[in-house]
C-alpha cells in the first residue's frame, strides 16, 4: 500500500460521512477503545523515533529503526523524511475521522466519542509540532526536505477544510477547521460551483486534485505501517453496508481507491 492512498481514503470517509453520521447505531465503546489503543501505539512509536533522531548525532536520520515498525525494509531515504511523511499524511484521515465522530455525537445530542477522539487528535498534533520543531532546529530552510515537509503540512490542512467544510457548517464544527475563515470560504465555493454529492463530476475533479497534491510522497515511496492499516480498517468497519467502497476496505480488500 502506498502512503498516497491515505488521503484518498480520507476523502472516501468524508464522501460517505453523512451516511456514517445518520446511521441508526453509534460507534461502539469497543471500537472507540481499539481506536485509542492503536493510535496510542503509533504515537509512542513516533515519539521513540523522534527521541532517537534528536539524540543520535545523525539529524537526517539514517541510524534509527524503520519508521513503519517493520524490519528488513531499505527505502533508500532518510528516516526523517519517512517519519515526516508518515505523520503529515496520516493527519488527514485522523482529522476527518475525528470530525465525523464529533458530528455523530452532535446528531445524537450526546458526547460519547468526542473526548477520546479529540484526545487522539491532540496527540497527533503534539507529534507533528515536535517533528516541525526538529526540522526547524536543523536549519535546513530552503532544502528539498524542508520544502517537502511544508508542502505536506499545508496540503493536509487545506484538503481537510475542503473535504469537511459541509459538516462544519451543518453541525457548527468550525472550531475543528485548520483555518476557519478558509473553511467557510471553501464551503461557499462548493455551494456555488460544484455539487456536494460525491457521485458528481465535480467531486471526481476534486478527488483528482487531491491525488495531485500528494503524488510526490510516492517518489520514492514510503510504506504504510501496520498500525495505520489497522486504523483505516477500523474506521471503515463503522460505516453502514450501503457504503460500498468503504465496505471493501473493512472486508480486507487492498487499501486503494
Annotated domain spans of the chain = 5-250
User: What does the pLDDT average to over 106-120?
Assistant: 92
What sign has the CA pseudo-torsion 58, 59, 65, 66?
Answer: negative
3 state DSSP class of 2: strand
Alpha-carbon distances, residue 73 vs 66, 221, 222, 225 (angstroms): 7, 12, 10, 11
**Are the CB atoms for 218 and 235 separated by under 8 Å?**
no
Residue 72 pLDDT greater than 50, yes or no: no
3-class DSSP assignment, residue 241: coil
C-alpha 179 chain-centroid distance: 16
pLDDT of residue 198: 65
Q: Residue 199 pLDDT more than 70?
A: no
Q: What pTM, to 2 d.p., does this model score?
A: 0.88
Place of cell 534528536: 54
Query: What 8-state DSSP symbol labels residue 139?
Result: T
**pLDDT above 70 coverage of the chain, percent:** 83
Give per-residue pLDDT as tens, 9-20.
999 999 999 999
Asked if residues 155 and 130 have their Cβ atoms less than 8 Å apart, the reply is no
User: What DSSP designation does 115 have?
Assistant: H
CA dihedral 20, 21, 23, 29 (to 10 degrees): 80
Amino acid at each position: 500500500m502506498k502512503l498516497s492512498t491515505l488521503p484518498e481514503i480520507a476523502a472516501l470517509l468524508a464522501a460517505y460521512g453523512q451516511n456514517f453520521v445518520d446511521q441508526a447505531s453509534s460507534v461502539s465503546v469497543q471500537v472507540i477503545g481499539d481506536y485509542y489503543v492503536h493510535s496510542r501505539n503509533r504515537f509512542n512509536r513516533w515519539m521513540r523515533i523522534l527521541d532517537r533522531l534528536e539524540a543520535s548525532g545523525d539529524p537526517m536520520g539514517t541510524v534509527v529503526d524503520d519508521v513503519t515498525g517493520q524490519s528488513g525494509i531499505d527505502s533508500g531515504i532518510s528516516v526523517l523524511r519517512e517519519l515526516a511523511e508518515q505523520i503529515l499524511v496520516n493527519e488527514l484521515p485522523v482529522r476527518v475521522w475525528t470530525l465525523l465522530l464529533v458530528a455523530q455525537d452532535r446528531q445524537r445530542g450526546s458526547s460519547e466519542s468526542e473526548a477520546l477522539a479529540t484526545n487522539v487528535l491532540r496527540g497527533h498534533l503534539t507529534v507533528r509540532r515536535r517533528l516541525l520543531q526538529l526540522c526547524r532546529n536543523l536549519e535546513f530552510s530552503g532544502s528539498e526536505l524542508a520544502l517537502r515537509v511544508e508542502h505536506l503540512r499545508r496540503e493536509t490542512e487545506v484538503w481537510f477544510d475542503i473535504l469537511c467544510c459541509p459538516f462544519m457548517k451543518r453541525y457548527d464544527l468550525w472550531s475543528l477547521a485548520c483555518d476557519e475563515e478558509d473553511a467557510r470560504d471553501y464551503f461557499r465555493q462548493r455551494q456555488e460551483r460544484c455539487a456536494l454529492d460525491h457521485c458528481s463530476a465535480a467531486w471526481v475533479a476534486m478527488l483528482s486534485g487531491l491525488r495531485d497534491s500528494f503524488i510526490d510522497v510516492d517518489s520514492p515511496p514510503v510504506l504504510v505501517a501496520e498500525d495505520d492499516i489497522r486504523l483505516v480498517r477500523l474506521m471503515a468497519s463503522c460505516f453502514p453496508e450501503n457504503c460500498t467502497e468503504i465496505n471493501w476496505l473493512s472486508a480486507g480488500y487492498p487499501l486503494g481507491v
